[in-house]
Structure 1
Amino acid sequence: MTTIKTPGRASTGHRMTLGEIVDTLAGGQLGLRFTAYDGSSAGPEDAPIGMHLASPRGATYLATAPKDPDLGMARAYVSGDLTVSGVHPGDPYDALVAMAEGLKLHRPPAFTLAAIMRSLGWETLRPVAPPPQEALPKWRRTAQGLRHSKIRDAEAIHSHYDVSNRFYEHVLGDSMTYTCAYYPAEDATLGQAQEDKYQLVFDKLGLKAGDRLLDVGCGWAGMVRFAARRGVHALGATLSKEQAEWGQAAIIREGLQEFAEVRHSDYRDVSETGFDAISSIGLTEHIGIAQYPAYFAFIVDRLLPGGRLLNHCITRPGNDRRTMTGSFIDRYVFPDGELIGSGTIISEIQDAGLEVRHEENLREHYALTLRDWNQNLVDHWDECVAEVGEGTARLWGLYMAGSRLGFERNVVQLHQVLAVKLAPQGSAGFALRGFARA
């Protein structure tokens, strides 16, 4: 086979190797080592990070997702057809950094692209079934109901959160908390940072013994149990059956039945009213932007006058509603999940009749949280693989490491917004400064 001397130009009479194709697409500036099953290679031999394309199926995954290369690479990686050296599969963060900086793909001229297609051959360009971890594309999910209907939301939550409680115990640690922690220092333990997050939410809500708290999207009841230990009557709702069972068992194990309850329920089915506070920690991402008016109206209806809302969720840096969730996240991580900027969320809260009192961005804290989840996955790799299979374990390592990079580089953010349902005559019940009640 003839080596292509000039990246971006290929003689129509020569069949290109996979290494030559990658080098051409990278414009001859590949910053990591690439090897392939056809014996070819590209990039510096001494690069600390290496990628190996192990099979024709992997090449098909890459070649059949030209408009969404992240999806193609995810398919090849999750299936084991694309492997990475120099990192642990439970934490490929360094590889993603190297790819972001050393794998910048360029669209070659039409004649070069045609030569690449001929070199790959029709067998490689014929799509094959994706890995079993991949959800259906959005347009094929209608059999599960309309988007953000109760049935379809339940299926989306089931696909992500009902993986295995034992798997989550390994990854999340003792707190069993799958939301951004709050770090007093970068070297704080994950457990301490999650405890500090719950304390922060507790303080912002101005909770005290005897109050009533509703925690929507309560997960494994971390906030519910934290509040109950302090004498707050807390009700949690989650669409995940496994979360509800684990959380209710933890409540019984800790002797908190007098104060705490977790229901396997859509938050929209909670009929009780008169709550002093509502915490929504990691739910807004799942409900859909079009549902915000109904969502915040639900919250207003269930709060007492003077009652507070703490909304904690992942956001985008901007508020352009045309920005869509990437295919990798939608197909492999959070089906039907939607993100928007904090400005939109604040506007919707205000339009529902609540007064916003405080807002902060904790994106660096989420990067640290993901760092520690990845480390837990590395530390318990064999147990996690035994529990969910290597493909799913690789998927989680990839998703968490990629998310960490996203938070570090301001692709996504994490905002907490504190709001209050004003009492008659406009009383907010806040001290002049801080979160204490007046």
Structure 2
Amino acid sequence: MAVYEREAARGDGFFGCRLAIGPRGSKALRDALPPDLYQTFLATCAAPPRHLAVYSDGLDELLSIRLPASAGSGDGSATGMHYASAMTLRQLMLTGVEDVVHFGKELTHYEQRPGGRIAAFFADGSSAVGDVLVGADGRCSRVRRQYLPHAGVLECGPAAVFGQVPLSDAAMVLPGKMLEGLSVVSGRDGSSLMTQPMEFKWDAMGEPKPHVGRLDAALIKTWPGLSHDRTVDHVLWGLMVPSWFSRTEPACLAGDRLVDAVMGLTRPWHTALRALVKLTDPATAAATPALVSDSVARWQATNVTLLGDALVCRVPDAGEGANAAFRAAGILCRLLAEAVDRGRPVVSAINDYEAATHRCGRAASSAYTKCLTRQARATKPVIGPVLAAGTRMRLRVADRVPRLKARVASEYRWLQGGSTA
């Protein structure tokens, strides 16, 4: 087995989003990782949010929901929600397999060779030959583009903008409650902002913090992946904006230019929220249109297959894609191993894998498209403000009526991520 990685080095690339790993995603990780590395995963997750609060863009609290505590890191449990930095999780996935990972290998195309083997070609002029090719090369997958040219990725609904602010800077401008939980700000124009503090068990020097237990401290100090990880305590923010934003602003908009654009969009908002955006580390600011895989019928299995966003793309999705990818990777690994042990053709194993993931992928894409459609309607110029006003009134009432509050709370469960995982 060999892994060919597009980034030039282990610590390269921007993997700044937070991934919310649900129970079944955690179980898939627990099944795939050595026990000590799974415990390291638990130890390197951020502190879970204590509550979910919804605010107006003037920072009036509309609704507050207490969130259940996640499982602790010491019990090996796969229950509850775990919030991980994508870069930290990347380093975990690369730990222990360093001898089979080749960096700086950007795939350009592949060819079927006589006898059924596959040759993969890379931008640096090199190539590799194997029995199975698994394309896990993201939403713009070149493997999918060549293998399933009819399976496109559609732009659907609003655009997403996100960035990070160092936690110490955010603490100077945000109310204390927003530093302890998952917060949603409902804009008058129908746009919405999500913030979540991501506080980890190590300091800026990579040393365990004084309050961290001995087991977690030992796992952090002995884990070599942390030396490649630039993750520090921060507040993550994500803004859903109208679809016109991604069409009128250049696709490459990032950094200071993106921060300035968001400042323009949020001009009527509370000064604390605008101050948060202004403090964004430009290196972490990025924008993307909402993308979802086009629905296609099952295809004839071969010894080429897809995984993760290359198979089913839902961007941004608060971690659902990561949970699905972990489960799919476990299924594929198990079926391929069984095929080799029993002398079955690997194509038969891949056919079973694709059958197991295709139906779930189509259902998830359909549900995600409906969600995006609702959000797109909420950001339309005329109906958006009307819907936003109605939503704010409904939230104020729900906060005072327990039965209605529970129903409304369920509508925000997707923001926690991993809700179906």
Fold shared by both chains (TM-score > 0.5): no
- Give me the TM-score of the superposition, normalised by structure 1: 0.21
Which structure would you say has the larger Rg? 1
